[in-house]
Amino acid sequence: MRAALLDEVDGPFEIRDVPEPVVDGKVLVRVRAAGINFADVLVRRGRYPQMPELPAILGSEIAGELEDGTRVMAITSGAGGYAEKVAVDRAQVVPLPDHASFAEGASFLLTFLTAHIPLTRQARVRPGSVVLVYAAAGGVGSAAIQVARTLGARVIAAVGSAEKLDVCRSLGAEEAFVYDELPEDIGADVVLDPVGGDLFASSFARLRPLGTVIAIGSAAGAWPQIEPARLVGRNVGLAGFYLGRLLRLDPELVGEAVGELLGLWHTGALKPLVGAELPLEEIEQAHALVESRQSVGKVVLLP
Ligand SMILES: NC(=O)c1ccc[n+]([C@@H]2O[C@H](COP(=O)([O-])OP(=O)(O)OC[C@H]3O[C@@H](n4cnc5c(N)ncnc54)[C@H](OP(=O)(O)O)[C@@H]3O)[C@@H](O)[C@H]2O)c1
Protein backbone atom coordinates (compact mmCIF):
# COMPACT_ATOMS: atom_id res chain seq x y z
CA MET A 1 0.00 0.00 0.00
CA ARG A 2 1.03 3.63 -0.46
CA ALA A 3 1.80 5.69 2.61
CA ALA A 4 3.48 8.99 3.50
CA LEU A 5 6.47 8.33 5.74
CA LEU A 6 8.38 10.72 7.92
CA ASP A 7 11.94 9.41 8.24
CA GLU A 8 13.41 12.11 10.46
CA VAL A 9 12.53 15.30 12.33
CA ASP A 10 12.32 18.26 9.90
CA GLY A 11 12.65 15.85 6.97
CA PRO A 12 10.30 15.68 3.98
CA PHE A 13 7.37 13.29 3.82
CA GLU A 14 8.06 10.54 1.31
CA ILE A 15 5.36 8.53 -0.44
CA ARG A 16 6.46 4.88 -0.48
CA ASP A 17 5.07 1.38 -0.91
CA VAL A 18 4.99 -0.32 2.48
CA PRO A 19 3.48 -3.60 3.74
CA GLU A 20 -0.15 -3.43 4.88
CA PRO A 21 -0.54 -2.95 8.64
CA VAL A 22 -0.71 -6.04 10.85
CA VAL A 23 -4.35 -6.43 11.87
CA ASP A 24 -3.70 -8.36 15.11
CA GLY A 25 -7.20 -8.18 16.58
CA LYS A 26 -7.85 -4.72 15.14
CA VAL A 27 -10.00 -3.70 12.19
CA LEU A 28 -8.52 -2.87 8.80
CA VAL A 29 -9.88 0.37 7.30
CA ARG A 30 -9.41 1.48 3.67
CA VAL A 31 -8.63 5.15 4.32
CA ARG A 32 -10.60 7.58 2.15
CA ALA A 33 -9.68 10.73 4.08
CA ALA A 34 -7.13 11.53 6.80
CA GLY A 35 -7.35 14.72 8.84
CA ILE A 36 -4.17 16.67 9.57
CA ASN A 37 -3.91 17.69 13.20
CA PHE A 38 -1.53 20.31 14.52
CA ALA A 39 0.07 17.57 16.63
CA ASP A 40 1.34 16.05 13.35
CA VAL A 41 3.10 19.35 12.57
CA LEU A 42 4.65 19.34 16.04
CA VAL A 43 5.82 15.73 15.63
CA ARG A 44 7.38 16.55 12.29
CA ARG A 45 9.29 19.42 13.89
CA GLY A 46 10.35 17.34 16.90
CA ARG A 47 8.31 19.54 19.26
CA TYR A 48 5.68 17.02 20.41
CA PRO A 49 6.05 15.80 24.01
CA GLN A 50 5.37 12.14 23.11
CA MET A 51 7.51 11.68 19.99
CA PRO A 52 6.95 8.43 18.03
CA GLU A 53 9.85 6.35 16.82
CA LEU A 54 10.80 7.38 13.26
CA PRO A 55 10.31 6.45 10.45
CA ALA A 56 6.59 6.72 11.10
CA ILE A 57 3.29 7.15 9.30
CA LEU A 58 1.54 10.07 11.00
CA GLY A 59 -2.20 10.78 10.97
CA SER A 60 -4.48 10.21 13.97
CA GLU A 61 -7.91 10.72 12.47
CA ILE A 62 -9.44 9.01 9.45
CA ALA A 63 -12.62 8.12 7.63
CA GLY A 64 -12.93 5.21 5.25
CA GLU A 65 -14.44 1.80 4.62
CA LEU A 66 -14.25 -1.57 6.31
CA GLU A 67 -13.70 -4.63 4.13
CA ASP A 68 -17.50 -5.14 3.84
CA GLY A 69 -17.95 -1.53 2.62
CA THR A 70 -19.26 -0.09 5.92
CA ARG A 71 -18.42 3.62 6.12
CA VAL A 72 -16.62 4.50 9.34
CA MET A 73 -14.51 7.15 11.03
CA ALA A 74 -11.91 6.60 13.74
CA ILE A 75 -9.18 8.02 15.90
CA THR A 76 -6.12 5.89 15.18
CA SER A 77 -4.21 5.51 18.42
CA GLY A 78 -0.59 5.23 17.32
CA ALA A 79 -1.19 7.25 14.13
CA GLY A 80 -0.88 5.51 10.71
CA GLY A 81 -3.63 7.49 8.98
CA TYR A 82 -1.58 9.00 6.13
CA ALA A 83 -1.84 5.72 4.19
CA GLU A 84 -4.19 3.69 2.02
CA LYS A 85 -4.95 1.34 4.92
CA VAL A 86 -4.74 1.52 8.69
CA ALA A 87 -5.49 -0.98 11.47
CA VAL A 88 -7.71 0.57 14.14
CA ASP A 89 -8.86 -0.67 17.56
CA ARG A 90 -12.38 -1.99 17.16
CA ALA A 91 -13.55 0.18 20.07
CA GLN A 92 -12.43 3.32 18.21
CA VAL A 93 -14.51 2.68 15.09
CA VAL A 94 -17.57 4.92 14.80
CA PRO A 95 -20.15 4.66 12.00
CA LEU A 96 -19.88 7.55 9.53
CA PRO A 97 -23.33 9.20 9.24
CA ASP A 98 -24.99 8.74 5.82
CA HIS A 99 -25.15 12.50 5.29
CA ALA A 100 -21.41 12.97 5.84
CA SER A 101 -18.57 12.92 3.32
CA PHE A 102 -15.35 11.05 4.10
CA ALA A 103 -13.56 14.40 4.42
CA GLU A 104 -16.09 15.53 7.03
CA GLY A 105 -15.71 12.22 8.84
CA ALA A 106 -11.94 12.73 9.05
CA SER A 107 -12.57 16.21 10.51
CA PHE A 108 -15.00 15.30 13.25
CA LEU A 109 -13.95 13.10 16.16
CA LEU A 110 -10.69 14.55 17.39
CA THR A 111 -11.57 18.20 16.97
CA PHE A 112 -15.14 18.07 18.25
CA LEU A 113 -14.26 15.85 21.23
CA THR A 114 -11.47 18.29 22.14
CA ALA A 115 -14.00 21.13 22.13
CA HIS A 116 -17.01 19.32 23.56
CA ILE A 117 -15.59 17.45 26.56
CA PRO A 118 -13.91 20.49 28.18
CA LEU A 119 -16.87 22.78 27.48
CA THR A 120 -19.37 20.30 28.93
CA ARG A 121 -17.33 18.58 31.66
CA GLN A 122 -14.61 20.98 32.81
CA ALA A 123 -16.35 24.34 32.61
CA ARG A 124 -19.88 25.33 33.43
CA VAL A 125 -21.20 26.80 30.19
CA ARG A 126 -24.79 27.93 30.48
CA PRO A 127 -27.10 29.91 28.19
CA GLY A 128 -25.65 33.42 28.08
CA SER A 129 -22.15 32.39 29.21
CA VAL A 130 -19.37 34.17 27.36
CA VAL A 131 -16.91 31.75 25.74
CA LEU A 132 -13.75 33.18 24.23
CA VAL A 133 -12.13 30.88 21.65
CA TYR A 134 -8.56 31.36 20.34
CA ALA A 135 -7.38 30.03 16.94
CA ALA A 136 -11.11 30.08 16.37
CA ALA A 137 -11.02 29.42 12.62
CA GLY A 138 -8.83 26.31 13.03
CA GLY A 139 -9.79 22.69 13.52
CA VAL A 140 -10.48 22.68 17.26
CA GLY A 141 -11.47 26.38 17.21
CA SER A 142 -14.14 26.02 14.52
CA ALA A 143 -15.56 23.06 16.45
CA ALA A 144 -15.47 25.00 19.74
CA ILE A 145 -17.49 27.92 18.33
CA GLN A 146 -20.20 25.49 17.23
CA VAL A 147 -20.21 23.44 20.44
CA ALA A 148 -20.39 26.58 22.61
CA ARG A 149 -23.35 27.81 20.54
CA THR A 150 -25.19 24.51 21.15
CA LEU A 151 -24.82 25.25 24.88
CA GLY A 152 -26.40 28.68 24.40
CA ALA A 153 -23.16 30.61 24.95
CA ARG A 154 -22.20 33.94 23.43
CA VAL A 155 -19.01 33.21 21.55
CA ILE A 156 -16.18 35.66 21.02
CA ALA A 157 -13.60 34.47 18.50
CA ALA A 158 -9.96 35.48 18.28
CA VAL A 159 -7.66 34.67 15.36
CA GLY A 160 -4.22 35.43 13.98
CA SER A 161 -5.26 37.23 10.78
CA ALA A 162 -8.17 39.33 9.49
CA GLU A 163 -8.99 36.89 6.64
CA LYS A 164 -10.26 34.42 9.25
CA LEU A 165 -12.79 36.75 10.92
CA ASP A 166 -15.73 36.08 8.57
CA VAL A 167 -15.42 32.29 8.95
CA CYS A 168 -15.76 32.67 12.72
CA ARG A 169 -18.85 34.85 12.40
CA SER A 170 -20.42 32.44 9.91
CA LEU A 171 -19.93 29.59 12.41
CA GLY A 172 -21.86 31.52 15.07
CA ALA A 173 -19.37 33.80 16.83
CA GLU A 174 -21.09 37.03 17.90
CA GLU A 175 -17.85 38.99 17.67
CA ALA A 176 -14.46 38.20 16.14
CA PHE A 177 -11.11 39.95 16.64
CA VAL A 178 -7.50 39.53 15.61
CA TYR A 179 -5.42 38.92 18.75
CA ASP A 180 -3.86 42.40 18.76
CA GLU A 181 -7.30 44.03 18.84
CA LEU A 182 -8.92 41.73 21.40
CA PRO A 183 -10.32 43.95 24.19
CA GLU A 184 -9.07 43.35 27.74
CA ASP A 185 -12.49 43.76 29.36
CA ILE A 186 -14.26 40.85 27.69
CA GLY A 187 -15.40 39.28 30.96
CA ALA A 188 -15.28 35.72 29.65
CA ASP A 189 -16.65 32.81 31.65
CA VAL A 190 -14.45 30.42 29.70
CA VAL A 191 -11.37 30.87 27.53
CA LEU A 192 -10.67 27.86 25.31
CA ASP A 193 -7.01 28.11 24.40
CA PRO A 194 -5.32 25.96 21.72
CA VAL A 195 -2.53 28.53 21.28
CA GLY A 196 -0.53 28.83 24.54
CA GLY A 197 2.43 31.20 24.89
CA ASP A 198 1.80 34.89 25.67
CA LEU A 199 -1.84 34.68 24.61
CA PHE A 200 -2.44 32.05 27.30
CA ALA A 201 -0.81 34.29 29.91
CA SER A 202 -3.04 37.22 28.93
CA SER A 203 -6.21 35.13 29.26
CA PHE A 204 -6.63 35.41 33.02
CA ALA A 205 -7.22 39.16 32.82
CA ARG A 206 -10.04 38.48 30.34
CA LEU A 207 -12.01 36.26 32.72
CA ARG A 208 -14.83 37.39 34.94
CA PRO A 209 -14.73 36.10 38.54
CA LEU A 210 -15.24 32.31 38.70
CA GLY A 211 -14.21 31.98 35.06
CA THR A 212 -11.89 29.25 33.74
CA VAL A 213 -9.10 29.08 31.22
CA ILE A 214 -8.95 25.70 29.51
CA ALA A 215 -5.50 24.97 28.08
CA ILE A 216 -5.80 22.69 25.04
CA GLY A 217 -2.60 23.22 23.11
CA SER A 218 0.54 25.26 22.69
CA ALA A 219 0.74 25.95 18.95
CA ALA A 220 2.59 29.21 19.67
CA GLY A 221 5.03 27.76 22.19
CA ALA A 222 5.29 26.50 25.75
CA TRP A 223 2.97 27.68 28.50
CA PRO A 224 4.40 30.23 30.92
CA GLN A 225 4.31 29.40 34.64
CA ILE A 226 1.13 30.51 36.40
CA GLU A 227 1.29 31.12 40.13
CA PRO A 228 -1.63 29.62 42.11
CA ALA A 229 -1.68 32.90 44.06
CA ARG A 230 -2.71 34.67 40.87
CA LEU A 231 -5.61 32.26 40.37
CA VAL A 232 -6.71 32.62 43.99
CA GLY A 233 -6.44 36.40 43.91
CA ARG A 234 -8.57 36.68 40.79
CA ASN A 235 -11.13 33.97 41.72
CA VAL A 236 -10.39 32.13 38.50
CA GLY A 237 -9.48 28.60 37.47
CA LEU A 238 -7.17 26.82 35.07
CA ALA A 239 -7.99 23.44 33.54
CA GLY A 240 -6.00 21.32 31.12
CA PHE A 241 -7.33 18.88 28.58
CA TYR A 242 -5.56 16.09 26.67
CA LEU A 243 -7.78 13.74 24.68
CA GLY A 244 -5.11 11.08 24.12
CA ARG A 245 -4.78 10.28 27.81
CA LEU A 246 -8.53 10.49 28.40
CA LEU A 247 -9.09 7.94 25.63
CA ARG A 248 -6.84 5.51 27.48
CA LEU A 249 -8.07 6.22 31.02
CA ASP A 250 -11.78 6.88 30.53
CA PRO A 251 -12.95 5.46 27.18
CA GLU A 252 -16.53 5.25 28.48
CA LEU A 253 -16.71 9.00 29.02
CA VAL A 254 -15.27 9.60 25.55
CA GLY A 255 -17.80 7.17 24.06
CA GLU A 256 -20.62 9.03 25.81
CA ALA A 257 -19.34 12.31 24.33
CA VAL A 258 -19.13 10.76 20.85
CA GLY A 259 -22.81 9.80 21.17
CA GLU A 260 -23.76 13.36 22.16
CA LEU A 261 -21.78 14.82 19.27
CA LEU A 262 -23.29 12.42 16.71
CA GLY A 263 -26.73 13.49 17.92
CA LEU A 264 -25.87 17.18 17.51
CA TRP A 265 -24.36 16.56 14.06
CA HIS A 266 -27.53 14.71 13.05
CA THR A 267 -29.73 17.69 13.97
CA GLY A 268 -27.50 20.04 11.95
CA ALA A 269 -26.32 21.95 15.04
CA LEU A 270 -22.74 20.92 14.21
CA LYS A 271 -20.93 20.53 10.91
CA PRO A 272 -17.21 19.88 10.49
CA LEU A 273 -15.50 22.64 8.54
CA VAL A 274 -13.34 21.13 5.79
CA GLY A 275 -11.07 23.92 4.59
CA ALA A 276 -9.03 21.98 2.00
CA GLU A 277 -8.84 18.49 0.52
CA LEU A 278 -5.60 17.39 -1.14
CA PRO A 279 -4.35 14.05 -2.53
CA LEU A 280 -1.79 12.19 -0.41
CA GLU A 281 0.91 13.15 -2.94
CA GLU A 282 0.39 16.81 -1.97
CA ILE A 283 1.10 16.22 1.70
CA GLU A 284 3.86 18.85 1.76
CA GLN A 285 1.45 21.56 0.58
CA ALA A 286 -1.20 20.30 3.00
CA HIS A 287 1.16 20.44 5.98
CA ALA A 288 2.45 23.85 4.88
CA LEU A 289 -1.11 25.22 4.92
CA VAL A 290 -1.54 24.22 8.58
CA GLU A 291 1.96 25.13 9.72
CA SER A 292 1.86 28.57 8.08
CA ARG A 293 -1.46 29.38 9.76
CA GLN A 294 -3.22 29.83 6.42
CA SER A 295 -5.68 26.97 6.86
CA VAL A 296 -9.24 27.32 8.06
CA GLY A 297 -11.10 24.36 9.54
CA LYS A 298 -9.46 21.04 8.76
CA VAL A 299 -7.02 20.17 6.01
CA VAL A 300 -7.70 16.65 4.78
CA LEU A 301 -5.56 14.22 2.78
CA LEU A 302 -7.20 11.83 0.32
CA PRO A 303 -5.01 8.67 0.10
N1 LIG B 1 -5.22 18.60 24.12
C2 LIG B 1 -5.74 17.85 23.16
O3 LIG B 1 -6.25 16.76 23.40
C4 LIG B 1 -5.69 18.36 21.76
C5 LIG B 1 -6.40 17.74 20.73
C6 LIG B 1 -6.37 18.31 19.46
C7 LIG B 1 -5.62 19.46 19.24
N8 LIG B 1 -4.93 20.00 20.26
C9 LIG B 1 -4.14 21.23 20.10
O10 LIG B 1 -5.04 22.26 19.74
C11 LIG B 1 -4.40 23.15 18.85
C12 LIG B 1 -5.20 23.26 17.57
O13 LIG B 1 -5.09 22.03 16.87
P14 LIG B 1 -5.69 21.88 15.41
O15 LIG B 1 -5.21 20.57 14.92
O16 LIG B 1 -7.15 22.16 15.43
O17 LIG B 1 -4.89 23.00 14.60
P18 LIG B 1 -5.45 24.35 13.94
O19 LIG B 1 -6.14 25.15 14.98
O20 LIG B 1 -6.20 24.02 12.72
O21 LIG B 1 -4.07 25.05 13.57
C22 LIG B 1 -3.30 25.65 14.56
C23 LIG B 1 -3.67 27.13 14.70
O24 LIG B 1 -2.96 27.65 15.79
C25 LIG B 1 -2.83 29.05 15.61
N26 LIG B 1 -1.48 29.48 15.96
C27 LIG B 1 -1.17 30.42 16.87
N28 LIG B 1 0.13 30.61 16.95
C29 LIG B 1 0.69 29.75 16.07
C30 LIG B 1 2.04 29.50 15.70
N31 LIG B 1 3.07 30.15 16.26
N32 LIG B 1 2.27 28.57 14.74
C33 LIG B 1 1.26 27.90 14.18
N34 LIG B 1 -0.05 28.10 14.52
C35 LIG B 1 -0.32 29.03 15.45
C36 LIG B 1 -3.13 29.34 14.14
O37 LIG B 1 -4.40 30.03 14.09
P38 LIG B 1 -4.37 31.65 14.15
O39 LIG B 1 -3.56 32.08 12.96
O40 LIG B 1 -5.79 32.01 14.07
O41 LIG B 1 -3.71 31.99 15.44
C42 LIG B 1 -3.26 27.97 13.51
O43 LIG B 1 -4.20 27.96 12.48
C44 LIG B 1 -2.97 22.65 18.68
O45 LIG B 1 -2.17 23.29 19.62
C46 LIG B 1 -3.10 21.18 19.00
O47 LIG B 1 -1.88 20.61 19.42
C48 LIG B 1 -4.94 19.48 21.51
List the CATH number of the domain containing 121.
Answer: 3.40.50.720
Q: Residue 59 region, left (φ>0) first, then alpha (ψ -120 to 50), else beta?
A: left
How many domains is the chain built from?
2
Residue having the nearest C-alpha atom to atom 21 of ligand 1: 138
In a domain, 32, yes or no: yes
Do 118 and 238 lie in one domain? The reply is yes
Do 122 and 99 lie in one domain? The reply is no
Do 49 and 73 lie in one domain? The reply is yes
Query: Of the candidates 124, 158, 163, 121, which has an alpha carbon nearest to the alpha carbon of residue 141?
Result: 158
Do 239 and 124 lie in one domain? The reply is yes
Q: What is the pLDDT, as a whole number, of residue 7?
A: 98
Do 131 and 151 lie in one domain? The reply is yes
Strands (DSSP E) found in 138-253:
154-159, 175-178, 188-193, 207-215, 237-240
Tell me the average confidence (pLDDT) per consecutive run of 10 residues in the chain, 303 residues long: 98 97 94 97 94 96 97 92 97 96 98 98 96 98 98 98 98 98 96 97 96 96 93 97 96 98 98 98 98 98 98
Q: What is the pLDDT, as a whole number, of residue 162?
A: 98
Atom of ligand 1 nearest to the CA of 159: 40
Ligand 1-lining residues (CB < 6 angstroms): 37-39, 110-111, 114, 135, 137-141, 159-161, 164, 194-195, 216-220, 241-243, 290, 293, 295
Q: Tell me the whole-structure pTM to 2 decimals.
A: 0.97
In a domain, 129, yes or no: yes
Do 159 and 91 lie in one domain? The reply is no
Which of 36, 37, 296 should be mutated for ligand 1, with most atoms under 8 A from CB? 37
Across the chain, which distance is largest between two alpha carbons, in Å? 59
Do 183 and 202 lie in one domain? The reply is yes
Do 43 and 117 lie in one domain? The reply is no
In a domain, 201, yes or no: yes
Residue having the nearest C-alpha atom to atom 29 of ligand 1: 220
Atom of ligand 1 nearest to the CA of 299: 20
Atom of ligand 1 nearest to the CA of 295: 43
Give residue 34's domain range: 2-108+272-302
Q: What is the pLDDT, as a whole number, of residue 222?
A: 87
Q: What is the pLDDT, as a whole number, of residue 78?
A: 73
Do 115 and 231 lie in one domain? The reply is yes
User: Last residue of a domain, which of 224, 244, 264?
Assistant: 244
Do 23 and 88 lie in one domain? The reply is yes
Helix (H, G, I), strand (E, B) or coil at 176: strand
CA 40–ligand 1 middle distance (angstroms): 11
b/e map 218-227, b = 16+ CB within 10 Å? bbbeebeeee
Do 100 and 123 lie in one domain? The reply is no
Do 95 and 143 lie in one domain? The reply is no
In a domain, 260, yes or no: no
Q: What is the pLDDT, as a whole number, of residue 177?
A: 98
In a domain, 28, yes or no: yes
Please state the three-class secondary structure of 7-55 as a single string.
Answer: CCCCCCEEEEECCCCCCCCCEEEEEEEEECCHHHHHHHCCCCCCCCCCC
Instruction: Find out whether 295 and 37 touch, Cβ atoms under 8 Å.
Output: no
In a domain, 279, yes or no: yes
Which of 140, 156, 164, 289 should be mutated for ligand 1, with most atoms under 8 A from CB? 140
In a domain, 254, yes or no: no
In a domain, 184, yes or no: yes
Q: What is the pLDDT, as a whole number, of residue 170?
A: 98
Instruction: Find out whether 3 and 84 touch, Cβ atoms under 8 Å.
Output: yes
Q: What is the CATH number of the domain that holds 57?
A: 3.90.180.10
